[in-house]
Structure 1
Amino acid sequence: MVIRDFDWKHSYATSDIREDGKLVDILHDFYIPALSRATRYDRVAGYFTSSSLAAASQGFSRFVENGGVARFVVGMQLDPEDAAAILRGDTSRADRVMLEQLDITPSWPDAVRHGVELLAWMVTQGYLSVRVGLRVHAQEGTPQPLDFAQDGYLHEKWFILGDEEDEIYISGSLNESRTALAVNAENITLQPSWISDWNRSILKDKHRSFEALWLGKHPAIKTFSLPEAVHARLVKIASNVTGLFEIDGTPMPYHPMPDQKQEVREADEIQPSLAERLRFAMIRLAPLLPGGEQVGIETTPIEPWPHQRFVANRLLETYPRNHLLCDEVGLGKTIEAGLAFRALWLSGRARSIRVFAPASLTAQWLVEMAEKFFLPFYRRTNSKGRWECIDMLSGETIQGDGKMFDSPLEIISTGLVINRHGGRLLAGLPETDLVLVDEAHKARRQTPDNQTAVPRFNKLYQELQSELYGKSRTLLLATATPMQLNRVEAFDLLKLMPSAGAVQFSEDLCEIFYRTRDKLLNREPMADYESEWLRRYLNDVRASSPEQWRFVHNHVLSFFGQTGLEDFVERWLEPMDWDEVQPALSLLAPLGRSMLRHTRSLLRAYQREGLLNANLAWREVHPSIVKLSGVEREVYDQLQDYCAELASHIAANMEEGRQRAAIGFYLSFLRLRYASSFYALRCSLERRLVKIRQTLDHKAQQFANSDIDREELEEMSDEEVEGLVLKHRTESDLTWEQGAVSRLLATMDRLPSTPRKMQQLLQDIDQRRVSGTDRVRQLVLFTRYADTMNYLHDELRRLLPRCPMGTFSGAGGTLRRAGEYHPERMDRTTIKQSFVGGNIDILLCTDAAAEGLNLQSADLLINFDLPWNPMMLEQRIGRIDRIGQHHEHIRVLNYLYQDSVEEVVYSRLVQRFREALTVSGELQFSLLPIQPEDFEDYAKADGEQGKIDEEELLCRAYEHAKRIKERQQLTEFKADEQKAAYEALEAQQRAEPLPATLELIWSAISESKYLRALGGSIESFRHGDAFSLVDVPGLPREVLLTTSRDLFEHGLGQDDHRRLHFATYGDPVFEKLLDYMLQPLTEVQTAWQNRKPLVSIRIDNHELRTLEDALDTEPPEDSQIELKERSLPLQGRQDDRVGRQQKVMLNSASASLASQKLNSSPDSQNNQISEIDRFRVDVNNRHGQRVHLNFDTPDRNSMLAVREKLLWPVAQKGNGLVVDADPLLLTASRDVIFRQLGDRNCRTSHDVARRLTIQAEELAARS
């Protein structure tokens, strides 16, 4: 039966008279005939009351015959305080009210009891899903009564019934009250889809409204899932009934009760066989078997690139070892980390994982971990522990209150870590198996260019060094910019890497290695002590980093390179050709031992060999210069005057240095807003003016204390930045600024309605217009600010009404369909799928979309404004310049105001670089060697402190580029060599059988006789196959599982609304399927919950180690399953004693040298160090080129215990120690002493020796 084949009336009312003279019976005349034919039922009506729920159950007895799936949104009336708490995520406030409505009492009429019991059974059997709605003000978001209408929204009662082809929209006075239920009183109107275009249009609108309600994105109704306590009560109600009835007592004719249903299945022998349960047991336990870590990688819904697989495997085989993850932007550091997280989490090797990232990236981390790896991370949104997580079933974001660090999987903003007003957050951090810090380059010393001074580190580095390093078994530092760091800053990160061995804590020893290596590669003669030192270093690598040594020796070096390395280390022979050994000297260098880095050159190498399965496009970046004149130029000049005068006022009215960081940050913020759009600048100035007036009236919240620093400024919202530097200002000073801002706004009132930059955008869009339509070839536009994005959306919506357009920002996504004016809200995944599917022509994004949103179907990206951090520009371009880009070439248009700082850097400076400097091909040209601070200094007005000109900017760029080239040489590993090494390594790994793979999981599901007996079957789609699960207890009525990555990426198709899930660990449907199939095998479930490492599954004396083994096994039904456990060595934190003792020795030896060679009275640095330099030259000219240097340490035994691993021989001498010092050690000591002399309070031999001794004692104590 189908809906269309029934003779429907236009309306049904209990007061109507039928043709036979009887009153209309709504239940039997409408609901039962309708639901007997429907397979879909979406309802928006009623309250969460017993009578309303009972009324909503009408016709359910026939609905289940068709395998129908229903979704109900029911309203709830609460007091404002409870409603507000629920909107904040505390759904427990709803439990009491909802449970009261389900408290069946003898006073309940039979109609109510029958209806509630039938509805409860539908929920527990998976035929019905319910979400509860709260009415909120459509504009303000505050809780309101359900009948509230002052915001223009009227809460209606309606529902949609449908089958595969047709549907009906029903509205009217739906049965709600207990009195109406008793007489079954309703009055409804029907609008079938097959009658008219008008009806079809209404249905389209209602579908859109329902989806918004269901996803919680409706502006006037916020919905949430049934609380656990309420769902449990429904299960209890369903389990206690002996029969199911309609509200009028009509018995349910088709489906038996759950206990009866089980009897029928047993009678028909529809039960999983032991062989099938064994296969699902092997799937469940595969991550715990030998090689199980690889199962986590191989069963993700994404196909890792070769280098991503290599990084994940390196992290696994060396776990727990610290690493630097340094892949170039767009090559997937997040993917690499997620693969390792998933493998370690599933195998039980890591029981706690925490990610620390800038606030702007935490939401992206949450989405990536959920969508790509099915890892249920919690994202902490404040220091009190409030959280967000993603519901794996619905994809919705759930919020709630909790306690910081009480979840094993957490994502935490580094802004919370460095917030001076939030206390020491990390003091409460528990021991954590794995910690990752994203954007780790932001943990740095404050003056990296001054290497002659004792370093002072920012708050993030201090917390990283003092808390995270000590409380994590494994620490991963992720940064795409290691080459952009000052050399000493890279060494600062290396101090957190115990794998660096003896050189870990000393940048001076790192420098010794690189200087020695460079002498070899330049074929300069080496002294004996240098060769001996290098041998000691390499032997330390072989002992402390055996995995790295094996990889380099077996997969990177040629035969001659292997022989040469062995000759040098083991036989004390010089290699015949140092060039053959060069890769080892890079990969085994201090940075190479810890850093995992890849560039796009590697992908090009794969592309040349035809090993890349997807396209890698060539990019063309073009500046689009926008000339300024007239009022636009006047606004710019006036803004510069305001900035310069404000800086002058602040300096004149405050103590020296007070709020200097804050004023510079605020002025840069205004200049960036101007460069974005006049609209964005106006919004900021208007808000600033309000804050000035409030400050004058003593009403404003004032930001920026005198001790605020750059880290905290960068974590501020735009609104907070607009309130900076208002504190500690005089009334006259504020009055001046009020007038200056007002005058600037008055000038902006004379701006043309369509600014020149907007005109340029319209011209570029017009060139892409599809002839005769408003449609255009796809493009992505980026802007820094949401204000600019909203302005552009409004303008384009007005000018291109038939062009489908989307937006994506930190607030989420919207889609405005062709011909419609109001956009609808959409989640990240839907926006991406709509764009890649060709349903969006223009996508407007803020930088919130610059991470994790893949938009490779577009060949044009427009930067409406340019960031002052070239890394962010590269992240933007990376949204379309991706593996799998649909086009051979892509274009990037950079909109630049003529003579602006952006035009100078991104146009003129680029051209001058191309002409005057050849930068290594490893450096993408969009990554100009310019720092945000350089932008800020160049953008300053003439006369403003710190202002630099174009030539100085170019000089800085040259210097940055020079350093980048130097640092690239520190870790150079050529792309072709990488490719060859990874191919050999992957071939070796592929030879080892895995406990489970996606292909084997698909075989277990698709070949299951039990699932097929229930009605399951394979269905084929354009991008792959899926298995339809039918009638599996505890699962939705019909759901699809696939192991096809292509199908999961592209979906079933626009017209197929069934739910598609990926058959892998963490997917909620797959997990429920495993739990159901393994119900009798409690020992399997217990082993999984406890994550016990296993050797095999044994059955009838047969040992099964892979799912393939299980697929080939048909054991007798009475066989017993036995789990054979294995033990893993207890892995503690990495041992950094060698690095600490080597640093203690260096400091102690330096203290001894300082006390002997420095003057006892203050003098200049150069004069003080001259005696040490003379002594060093003298030792170098000696026959043995060595000198015995006596020293002492706080713990001689600790040093003597590791003396064989130190880089210089140490021996005991009397009550002290002696080191066989050579010119290398003297050079390192000289540099250590020189830095101490840079302190104005440390100028004598006594001061330096005392300081170095104290530092050695502190380091030894930490050992």
Structure 2
Amino acid sequence: MIKRYSSRRESLSDSLFNKKLKNARSYDRIAGYFNSSILEIAGEYVDDIEGKIRVVCNSDLDIRDVKTAKAANNALRREWCESEPEKIANGHDRFAKLYELLSSGKMEVRVLPNEKFGLIHGKAGIITFKDGTKTSFLGSANESLSGWKLNYELVWEDSSEEAIEWVQEEFDSLWNDETAIPLSEFIIEDIKRISEREVIENVEDWKEKDPEPAVVAVESPVYREQLGLWEHQKYFVDRVFHDHKKSYGARYILADQVGLGKTIQLAMAAQLMALYGDKPILIIVPKTLIWQWQDEMNSLLDMPSAVWDGKFWVDEEGHEYIGRGIKKCPRRVGIISQGLIVAKSKVIEELLEQEYECVIVDEAHRARRRNLGEGKEEHSPDPNNLYEFLLNISIKTKSMLLATATPIQMYPIELWDLMNILSQKNDSVLGSPASYWRKKTMIQRSLNLIMGKEKIDFFNRENWEWIRNPFPPAYENTLFASMRLRNNMKEDEFVYRKSFMELSDPEQQKIGALISGGFYEKYNPYIRHVIRRERKYLENEINPDTGEPYLQKIEVELFGEEDEDALVLNTYLKEAYTYAEEFCKELSRRNKGAGFLKTLLLKRIGSSIEAGRNTGYRMLNEWNTYLDEALEEEDFKDEKDMEQTSEIKNLTKEETELLVKYVKALESSNAVDPKYEKTVELLRDEKWLERGTIIFSQYYETARWIAQNLSMEFPEETIGIYAGGTKSGIFINGEFTYKDKETIKAQVKDRGIRVLVGTDAASEGLNLQTLGSLINIDLPWNPTRLEQRKGRIQRIGQEYNTIYIYNMRYKDSIEDKVHKRLSERLKHISDVFGQVPDTLEDVWIKIALGEEEEAMKLIDEVPEKHPFENRYNKEVKHIDWESCSKVLDNVEKRRFLKKGW
């Protein structure tokens, strides 16, 4: 029997749902689009249903996302959060009911990618009554309150056996389809969280009620638009904020391997400390990363900040504050370039005139002593400009965080230098000035004790001096806790006042047991203040709460590594490269400093023939202007790189002649760059194109040239380019259209862009897990850059278990020479240190200048094993932020963070 319902004539919910579902045993529903309202109506009328409610709907899931359960759940999570269910007014009761239904199993929801059957415009349902009879209905009404009560809707009910079988068959075909996936556990738990959601209206209220990080984090973009923070990231933020709330503050070296998300950990910690305290946050990073930091804080944490561009502050909206000095930052968080400090800018003194809540330093290993090497450790450090500045500003800040993947570049004492920076005005790190750990003459001995190279006799009272200052905190060991309690030590006291002879016999015996049990390995100050997690450790360590590793394991398959894979240059191009080598050597003969300037031409032609051609023209025609621009563009690691003597500002006759020959050789060749040819060959292989590929270059001129030519080679593809400033956009058939970075990222995420060409501006903080392969058009001489590039696709959410990476180099180039002589040694160093130290950039420079013997000496100086092996702190545990129902009002948070210095 057919019945027709029109919302113009009657209430659909009253005439159909109220009457039918009250007597229902079960309910199958083909609903519409998946969003937060799709469960409303079912949640409102199902109290009396005895059996199960099953709902099948569709979404914008990419069909490739359902290949694995993890990818499917991640995609569903993102789509759910994008619908912003937390913003639905007065939804607490409804969400509570939905959680009860879903968590009990009374309601099940499955979701289909809409590309499988298209959008589900057909809405239908089958209601089974308690007496076993059934009815079916079809119509336009969505499963939402508006669909049943507010909109104009038509519904036909048909209780005939034929109609019921037909609708049931349609439902079953969708429900049992191989691409239909269950609603993710995250969504179900988030429904519970939203049902209990409580908004804290102002920052002061949050501060007064034992402030927790989750209240600030749980609805930030990194949680609602990305996939949240990993456990090791939450652990660091939680620990830092816990210490910052103490009187002595947080003092840590974050030494995670590249690719484990140091920036987001530091930025989240900065946000919490900015909200908790009243003083400024200062972030010091390499110049190439200042805008990336600002963008990542804004996009992932919805966190305002300002960047000092050298003359004025620029906020997150691009507004320039002309005329305001560096001490008048318009935001609570200010970001400056390390270059200011390296060059001893005048603003340094102004920065040292005020107090800070926290100072954060990225790539902190660039703060180094000049007197490095065997036999020099007992001397006071001869600090470079950055080291000296950090020693001074450490006294001016409550908390301080130093970030570096390689805290030890070559010598263990470099880690002591970073600890020394943290220890200024803070006894928690290395103890008081009388501590053995701080004495210059004892540095090498302390390092030897930690590394097990030296031992102190079990009965030697000297052991107590290493323990008592700094005395470990109570949480490290029950012995420390009881001794602190017995001696009435406050938590901000770190010097145990009793001498060894004043200790009781039981205490002396316990101290002896502590020494024999491995005090120097387990409880030394370095372990306490250096937090380092390795990718391999996180991939293999099982999270007891999930039964899965803490980090998704993603293998890397390298291509282009064999000697025969080096790309051969034709006669004229090879001739040009030879002239470039001669030019650099000629330049070096009259100038002993500025190594990067002397090798600049070789770095550019090593990137691409196009970059080498443009560089040659500009050097020949506008030498001084080009050098000034290069000084601005290159990423310096020490003040020696800033030196540019008057002699190098003018080319000699011999240098000019070599440049002329170089340019003519390039003009004589009409050969296609073999790097471009190889790239096209790879992309014609469906494996690389189907996976999606990011192509990296150090230089924009190379990146743009590659992108433009690829767009003509593959006219059906949209080729994206991601670079600094306003240089991002898309190429279609050779024509460029400007697109902002957010648009580019969205198109990559939606797979509208399968080929993205990026400069190293794309190598930090960009999530490209929808791409499964990477081509390095050039090999940066700074080894860290390669790790950062790889980290764009070797990250959580990557759908492939193995990613492809192809490293390109010209045969007989500097890169090829380094590869031939040092590849095995560099791999060993990478295994030992977690990555190749930045200082080995000098190896490339020395080989470029023909100083291969010196280059090999640098390599041979690197230790055969990591001086601290695996004794860094690796503790990781589950910290539940995801279920936090209390939320700091976002408008209030931004208002507070927009307060200036």
Query: 1: CA distance between counterparts of 2:514 and 2:384?
Result: 45
Contact 2:198–2:885 (8 Å) recurs in 1: no
Match of residue 601 from structure 1: 536
Residue 234 (structure 2) pairs with residue 309 (structure 1)? yes
- Number of aligned pairs? 654
User: 1:923 offset after TM fit, Å?
Assistant: 3.8
- 1:935–1:549 distance in 2 versus 1, CA, 3 Å: farther
User: 1:595 offset after TM fit, Å?
Assistant: 1.2
Query: 1: CA distance between counterparts of 2:897 and 2:368?
Result: 41
1:693-750 deviation per Cα after TM superposition (whole angstroms, max 9, x unaligned): 999xxxx989999xx996357579xxxxxxx6664777xx634433321221011101
Within 5 Å, give how 1:150-161 maps onto structure 2. Answer: none
Structure 2 spans left out of the alignment, 5+ residues: 1-194, 223-227, 424-428, 483-502
Contact 1:779–1:841 (8 Å) recurs in 2: yes
Match of residue 464 from structure 1: 390
Within 5 Å, give how 1:469-488 maps onto structure 2. Answer: 469-488=394-413
Contact 1:929–1:961 (8 Å) recurs in 2: no
Within 5 Å, give how 1:258-297 maps onto structure 2. Answer: 280=199, 287-294=206-213, 295-297=215-217
Q: Secondary structure at the match of 1:968?
A: coil
Structure 2 length as normaliser, TM-score?
0.66
1:388-441 deviation per Cα after TM superposition (whole angstroms, max 9, x unaligned): 2224xxxxx333322212133211112122324646444554111111111111
Within 5 Å, give how 1:709-728 maps onto structure 2. Answer: 711-712=638-639, 727=647
Within 5 Å, give how 1:673-822 maps onto structure 2. Answer: 673-692=604-623, 711-712=638-639, 727=647, 734-768=652-686, 777-812=691-726, 814-816=728-730, 821-822=734-735
1:955-983 deviation per Cα after TM superposition (whole angstroms, max 9, x unaligned): 53343143x511335x444x5xx34xx35
1:218-257 deviation per Cα after TM superposition (whole angstroms, max 9, x unaligned): xxxxxxxxxxxxxxxxxxxxxxxxxxxxxxxxxxxxxxxx
> Among residues 321, 345, 358, which one is paired with 1:400 in the alignment?
321
2:670 corresponds to which letter in structure 1? P
1:1115-1158 deviation per Cα after TM superposition (whole angstroms, max 9, x unaligned): xxxxxxxxxxxxxxxxxxxxxxxxxxxxxxxxxxxxxxxxxxxx
Residue 537 (structure 2) pairs with residue 633 (structure 1)? no
Query: 2: CA distance between counterparts of 1:277 and 1:763?
Result: 55
Match of residue 1037 from structure 1: none
- 1:436–1:788 distance in 2 versus 1, CA, 3 Å: same
Query: 1: CA distance between counterparts of 2:630 and 2:719?
Result: 37
Residue 745 (structure 2) pairs with residue 841 (structure 1)? no
Query: 2: CA distance between counterparts of 1:777 and 1:703?
Result: 36
Match of residue 263 from structure 1: none
Match of residue 966 from structure 1: 867
2:867 corresponds to which letter in structure 1? E
Residue 420 (structure 2) pairs with residue 495 (structure 1)? yes
Contact 1:806–1:842 (8 Å) recurs in 2: yes
- 1:404–1:805 distance in 2 versus 1, CA, 3 Å: same
Q: Secondary structure at the match of 1:832?
A: helix
Match of residue 343 from structure 1: 272
Contact 2:719–2:753 (8 Å) recurs in 1: yes
- 1:551–1:856 distance in 2 versus 1, CA, 3 Å: farther
Q: Secondary structure at the match of 1:967?
A: coil
> Among residues 837, 841, 847, which one is paired with 1:932 in the alignment?
841
> Among residues 235, 245, 263, which one is paired with 1:334 in the alignment?
263
Query: 2: CA distance between counterparts of 1:812 and 1:1090?
Result: 25
Query: 2: CA distance between counterparts of 1:972 and 1:567?
Result: 32
Contact 1:776–1:803 (8 Å) recurs in 2: no
Q: Secondary structure at the match of 2:471?
A: helix
Contact 1:322–1:497 (8 Å) recurs in 2: yes
Q: Secondary structure at the match of 1:354?
A: strand
2:573 corresponds to which letter in structure 1? E
1:825-873 deviation per Cα after TM superposition (whole angstroms, max 9, x unaligned): 2222222221121011111111111110011111111110001121111
Residue 357 (structure 2) pairs with residue 433 (structure 1)? yes
Within 5 Å, give how 1:209-248 maps onto structure 2. Answer: none
User: 1:781 offset after TM fit, Å?
Assistant: 0.7
Query: 1: CA distance between counterparts of 2:624 and 2:467?
Result: 67
Contact 1:693–1:738 (8 Å) recurs in 2: no
Match of residue 661 from structure 1: 593
2:369 corresponds to which letter in structure 1? R
User: 1:471 offset after TM fit, Å?
Assistant: 1.6
Q: Secondary structure at the match of 1:330?
A: coil
Match of residue 525 from structure 2: 590
Contact 1:323–1:594 (8 Å) recurs in 2: yes
1:1178-1207 deviation per Cα after TM superposition (whole angstroms, max 9, x unaligned): xxxxxxxxxxxxxxxxxxxxxxxxxxxxxx
Q: Which moved more, 1:469-478 or 1:851-860?
A: 469-478
User: 1:754 offset after TM fit, Å?
Assistant: 0.8
Within 5 Å, give how 1:164-175 maps onto structure 2. Answer: none
1:960 corresponds to which letter in structure 2? V
Contact 1:628–1:898 (8 Å) recurs in 2: yes
> Among residues 554, 569, 584, which one is paired with 1:617 in the alignment?
554
Q: Secondary structure at the match of 2:465?
A: helix
Query: 1: CA distance between counterparts of 2:572 and 2:219?
Result: 59
Query: 2: CA distance between counterparts of 1:614 and 1:598?
Result: 11
1:47-90 deviation per Cα after TM superposition (whole angstroms, max 9, x unaligned): xxxxxxxxxxxxxxxxxxxxxxxxxxxxxxxxxxxxxxxxxxxx
Q: Secondary structure at the match of 1:758?
A: helix
Query: 2: CA distance between counterparts of 1:666 and 1:423?
Result: 26
Contact 1:704–1:727 (8 Å) recurs in 2: no
Match of residue 8 from structure 1: none
1:399 corresponds to which letter in structure 2? E
Residue 252 (structure 2) pairs with residue 360 (structure 1)? no
Query: 1: CA distance between counterparts of 2:207 and 2:359?
Result: 22
Q: Secondary structure at the match of 1:496?
A: helix
Q: Secondary structure at the match of 2:371?
A: coil
Match of residue 515 from structure 1: 448
1:4-30 deviation per Cα after TM superposition (whole angstroms, max 9, x unaligned): xxxxxxxxxxxxxxxxxxxxxxxxxxx
Higher relative contact order, chain-length normalized (CA < 8 Å, sep 6+): 2
- 1:777–1:476 distance in 2 versus 1, CA, 3 Å: closer
Match of residue 507 from structure 2: 570
Within 5 Å, give how 1:175-186 maps onto structure 2. Answer: none
User: 1:1071 offset after TM fit, Å?
Assistant: 7.2
Contact 2:464–2:511 (8 Å) recurs in 1: no
User: 1:569 offset after TM fit, Å?
Assistant: 9.1
- 1:304–1:534 distance in 2 versus 1, CA, 3 Å: farther
> Kindly, what percent of the aligned residue pairs are identical?
22
User: 1:341 offset after TM fit, Å?
Assistant: 1.8
- 1:900–1:473 distance in 2 versus 1, CA, 3 Å: same
Structure 1 spans left out of the alignment, 5+ residues: 1-275, 392-396, 555-565, 652-658, 717-723, 942-946, 1002-1062, 1073-1087, 1092-1263
2:580 corresponds to which letter in structure 1? L
Residue 371 (structure 2) pairs with residue 443 (structure 1)? no
User: 1:284 offset after TM fit, Å?
Assistant: 6.2
Task: State the superposition RMSD in angstroms.
Answer: 3.9
1:350-399 deviation per Cα after TM superposition (whole angstroms, max 9, x unaligned): 532110111111111111221222221111111x4x122224xxxxx333
Contact 1:377–1:411 (8 Å) recurs in 2: yes
1:671 corresponds to which letter in structure 2? L
2:764 corresponds to which letter in structure 1? E
Q: Secondary structure at the match of 1:816?
A: strand
2:430 corresponds to which letter in structure 1? A
Match of residue 910 from structure 1: 823
Match of residue 298 from structure 2: 370
Contact 1:866–1:902 (8 Å) recurs in 2: yes
Contact 1:352–1:409 (8 Å) recurs in 2: yes
- 1:577–1:998 distance in 2 versus 1, CA, 3 Å: closer
Match of residue 117 from structure 2: none
